[in-house]
Amino acid sequence: MDKLTTSFRYRTSEEGLTVEEILRDDWKAGKKTVHQMRMDKAVMDTAGHPLEWRTPLEAGTELVFHFKDVYSSYKPDEHVTVSILFEDEHILAALKPAGMAIHPDETDEGGTFMNAVMAHVVRNGGAYAEHIHRLDKGTEGIVLIAKHPIAKALFDRMIEERAITRIYHAEVDGRVKRMRGTLQYPIGRDRHHPTRRRVSPGGQDAITRYRVIERNDESTLVEASLETGRTHQIRVHFSHIGHPVKGDTLYGGSETTDGNYRLIATKVSFIHPFTKELTTIEAK
């Protein structure tokens, strides 16, 4: 797609902050990003005049941040649609259907979640959309999308620092005996399979907390929250304790008629790094 300007507006909340302090101290933007934005005179007032970076600003000053030639390569695809659950200047949250890939394998492909998100962004005059986390193709639920590079960097760091709460509902095979528990097993690659993961002593630390919502004769509905975000984490952990997610045949789960997993990302919650407000988004 054409290289369009990506921009966002921000209103200062504290008296006396400078542009440099907002970027460097509050948002902790990288040195390279700060330097480039200074060279590009990328921060302006609402009249389009570049601002001095070290001049204290009055509380309530509205700033406009521009990113020259910053755009995403996903091809907008109007033939696929997703439900937008939340959107502001910085991020959006959309509901990914089960069975839809999160992004294309090749940049010119369509039909994926990110192609649908990009179509929405372009329709509204934007040019940038990058997912902050992922869901497996067979999983339904909420995905957070950054609408500019600073939001992407901030939310990536929040994921690393476990500052975003992510809640899932999963129907797993069998009757889970304990009403609640913590699954803390390191997860690594399975050397015998190209995409599968496994519990491994040499793997990355992984923590899943759960509580039982409902028990049936052959399955259990659980609510699971992630303290870490390892690939296939919920699927690997519940398979490891003998209760694989229904439909997840890769990890021993029973088959479902549609071939999708009975796993839904139902809720995300975080302190918004730009507004400082507790933000909770739930699947409808």
105 belongs to the catalytic site: no
In this prediction, residues 250-274 reach a mean pLDDT of 95
> Whole-number mean pLDDT of the chain?
92
Average pLDDT over residues 83-111: 91
Checking if the pLDDT of 133 tops 80, the result is: yes
Instruction: Give residue 2's pLDDT band: very low, low, confident or very high (50, 70, 90).
Output: very low
Set 136, 156, 190, 217: catalytic member: 136
Please say if the pLDDT value at position 238 is more than 60.
yes
pLDDT of 3 over the 60 cut? no
The pTM of this model reads 0.89
Domains of the chain are: 6-67 (3.10.290.10), 83-161 (3.30.2350.10), 166-265 (3.30.2350.10)
What would the DSSP string read from start to end of the chain?
A: -----EEEEEE--STT--HHHIIIIIS---HHHHHHHHHTT-EE-TTSPBPPTTS---TT-EEEEEETT----PPP-TT---EEEEE-SSEEEEEEPTT--SS-SSTT--SSHHHHHHHHHHHTT----EESS---TT-EEEEEEESSHHHHHHHHHHHHTT-SEEEEEEEEES---SSEEEEE--EEE-TTSSS-EEE-TTSB--EEEEEEEEE-SSEEEEEEEESS--TTHHHHHHHHTT-PBTT-GGGTPPP-TTS--SEEEEEEEEE-TTT--EEEEE--
Amino acid 67: pLDDT: 86
pLDDT above 90 as % of the chain: 80
State the pLDDT at residue 30.
79
